[in-house]
Chain A
């Protein structure tokens, strides 16, 4: 075997120890093999680095996130917004009455006047869904794909999708909650005899005395407490205590870095949205084509005159696939795509994929305001990644189509604020932000953002454009 023909076998780890030794001995006298090995080693190292950058971490946080997501999807039927007031439909299975019956009973004893609103908290579940079992004395409240709204007296808890919240204690004195993952909005009016509420999230405890606020914990350990009204105390044992007032947001991460800042209008919208029950679903669409529906009457029931004849609908109208809808939009069949998307959204009103396609169809059919409004729905209810995509795209429409630069600035800033999910296109977002700042007359900010793009994203197309704009200003170094 010639030494140079052994190069490939060497790289393929096919040589025996003796052969490998002989091959390595020949290298000092063989420039072509040495060069080929050097170039391959460089390429392999670059490959390793490039793949490592894309490979997700396999740490405890990542495992927890996967287990939580899998648990939330473990074959349980979806349920939509469940909210019960006294006198609601009898088909619902009522849970958690036992938990809050003490509250109801005690409060009735303490207050002379009868309560003006029902005090029991009930959550609607489908009939075939099992009652959540107590988990070590705690009651889990889990929102799967759709948000969940629960009421207690005249207070409310709104859970966004993929949220796990435990009720650890609930009586006339205290309501203790623990947020394991996701986002919960709380509205608790300040009243005499109102039980004190606290929410434990990670290492923090949020103490509430009557307020409207939102708590979020991401799977990367970032915790956010945003107060719309009233005030809360955030306690980090061993570190400190903060008072977070209305209009403020407190944020901390796994490294215990914290900041207190003004609450964005988006966060306020998210809080309000989670605490607002949706409109009741519209009536199911009537059968459009007779051939799609089959009605059968059970023969045996006919034979028994005491039993009413049962009518079975054996085939419901099909809901088109997402890929088909995308193709219709590409083919400019907007009306058809719109009908299909509305049909999907009737069953899952906050499906981010359907909403995004709807926004795209609205944008393409010349309805930019509607498209922005649809993106705002994704921003209110989607995951962090979905929210940021929606912000970016809404910002572009506001900038390019509606010339609403103030609105665009707000969108792009919110996009950048969620830095964890904005890494990949941060430069493009900043460039767009800069342009809107310029159009809005905020020239100092405009220049500052351009400089940041050049400093932080050198080598990118965005940095090149930013450099050109700075040059035009006469500011390029």
Chain B
């Protein structure tokens, strides 16, 4: 961060490799329907925002939390913008909202039967965040609690509900509700 604050843009590359997955998970938690290209674009936006804020950043040992919060904010802003844009496109008759993922994955691919739209879309944003940080980032409950600034018991509670809903979605028991925020 010190190098970045001095204007060394190449230091951004190191940050990207270190925190890129975490940022991507934050973006996917906020916008689970985005295709990979757009996730990458939003991730780049996050790191460019980090680079811009680097001179003002004060080292406090919480860089990971800070980057995650920038990522979550940037992703939510992107989601609001997309939501309004999609509303606009839907108002055009016969004009499909482009860049939409396929409605269902091939049935033969049983390992990926969860469609992100129905599976993760059935969870609230904070449930997605908790689930992805715990299961995919491998964080402990305490680390998730600190990162998201929520109580530990709340983390466990979100985790329980997220698992229940995800398993139900896989079983097809939960109807599609659109993306819950």
Q: Is the CB of B28 within 8 A of A425?
A: no
Please judge, given known A-B contacts A47-B166, A428-B96, whether A58 and B16 are in contact too, CB under 8 Å.
yes
> How long is the Cα–Cα vector from A319 to B17 in the complex, in angstroms?
38
Count of A interface residues, CB-CB < 8 Å: 61
Q: Is the CB of B48 within 8 A of A12?
A: no
Q: Is the CB of A326 within 8 A of B102?
A: no
Chain B, 80-120, CB within 8 A of any chain A CB: 80-81, 84-85, 87-89, 91-92, 94-96, 98-107, 111-116, 119-120
Q: Is the CB of B88 within 8 A of A42?
A: no
Q: Is the CB of A50 within 8 A of B94?
A: no
Q: Is the CB of A54 within 8 A of B44?
A: no
- A44-72 interface code vs B (CB 8 A; 1 in, 0 out): 11111111011110100011111101110
Q: Inside 8 A of B84's CB, which chain A residues have their CB? A: 323, 326-327, 330
Q: Is the CB of B41 within 8 A of A385?
A: yes
Closest to A60 in B: B13
Q: Is the CB of B114 within 8 A of A50?
A: yes
Closest to B42 in A: A56
Q: Inside 8 A of A62's CB, which chain B residues have their CB? A: 16, 20, 40
What distance in Å separates the Cβ of B153 from its nearest Cβ neighbour in chain A?
12
Q: Inside 8 A of A65's CB, which chain B residues have their CB? A: 44
What distance in Å separates the Cβ of B160 from its nearest Cβ neighbour in chain A?
6
Cβ 8 A contact of B12, one of A11, A58, A70, A424: A70
What distance in Å separates the Cβ of B94 from its nearest Cβ neighbour in chain A?
6
What distance in Å separates the Cβ of A32 from its nearest Cβ neighbour in chain B?
13
> How long is the Cα–Cα vector from A101 to B6 in the complex, in angstroms?
35
A461 at the interface (CB under 8 A from B): yes
- Interface size range on B against A: 35 or more
Q: Inside 8 A of A73's CB, which chain B residues have their CB? A: 48
Please judge, given known A-B contacts A49-B111, A65-B44, A459-B106, whether A71 and B170 are in contact too, CB under 8 Å.
no
> How long is the Cα–Cα vector from A393 to B111 in the complex, in angstroms?
34
Q: Is the CB of B105 within 8 A of A74?
A: no
Q: Inside 8 A of B43's CB, which chain A residues have their CB? A: 56
B9 at the interface (CB under 8 A from A): yes
Q: Is the CB of B35 within 8 A of A423?
A: yes
Q: Inside 8 A of A423's CB, which chain B residues have their CB? A: 35-37
A329 at the interface (CB under 8 A from B): yes
> How long is the Cα–Cα vector from A435 to B39 in the complex, in angstroms?
31
B154 at the interface (CB under 8 A from A): no
Interface hub of B24, B40, B48, B105 (most chain A Cβ within 10 A): B40
B38 at the interface (CB under 8 A from A): yes
A166 at the interface (CB under 8 A from B): no
> How long is the Cα–Cα vector from A13 to B159 in the complex, in angstroms?
12
Q: Inside 8 A of A8's CB, which chain B residues have their CB? A: 156, 160
What distance in Å separates the Cβ of B154 from its nearest Cβ neighbour in chain A?
13
Interface hub of A66, A364, A396 (most chain B Cβ within 10 A): A66
- B121-153 interface code vs A (CB 8 A; 1 in, 0 out): 000000000011001100011000000000000
> How long is the Cα–Cα vector from A40 to B159 in the complex, in angstroms?
12
Chain B, 1-28, CB within 8 A of any chain A CB: 7, 9-10, 12-13, 16-17, 20-21, 24-25, 28
Q: Inside 8 A of B89's CB, which chain A residues have their CB? A: 360
A264 at the interface (CB under 8 A from B): no
Please judge, given known A-B contacts A58-B21, A364-B92, whether A425 and B105 are in contact too, CB under 8 Å.
no
What are 14 A-B pairs at a CB distance below 8 A?
A43-B119, A43-B166, A47-B135, A50-B112, A54-B24, A54-B32, A55-B24, A71-B9, A326-B85, A326-B88, A330-B84, A425-B99, A428-B100, A459-B105
Nearest first, the 9 closest Cβ-Cβ pairs linking A and B are A56-B40, A46-B114, A63-B13, A424-B35, A49-B112, A58-B20, A460-B102, A55-B24, A50-B116
Contact surface of B with A, Cβ cutoff 8 Å: 7, 9-10, 12-13, 16-17, 20-21, 24-25, 28, 32, 34-41, 43-44, 47-48, 51-52, 80-81, 84-85, 87-89, 91-92, 94-96, 98-107, 111-116, 119-120, 131-132, 135-136, 140-141, 156, 159-160, 163, 166-167, 170-171
- Apart from the given pairs A46-B114, A363-B92, A385-B37, 18 other A-B contacts in the complex at a CB distance below 8 Å: A39-B167, A43-B166, A43-B170, A47-B135, A49-B112, A50-B120, A51-B28, A54-B28, A58-B21, A66-B12, A66-B13, A70-B47, A326-B88, A330-B87, A364-B92, A424-B99, A425-B100, A459-B107
Contact surface of A with B, Cβ cutoff 8 Å: 8, 11-14, 39-40, 42-51, 53-56, 58, 62-67, 69-71, 73-75, 322-323, 326-327, 329-330, 357, 360, 363-364, 385, 389, 392-393, 396, 400, 421, 423-425, 427-428, 457-461
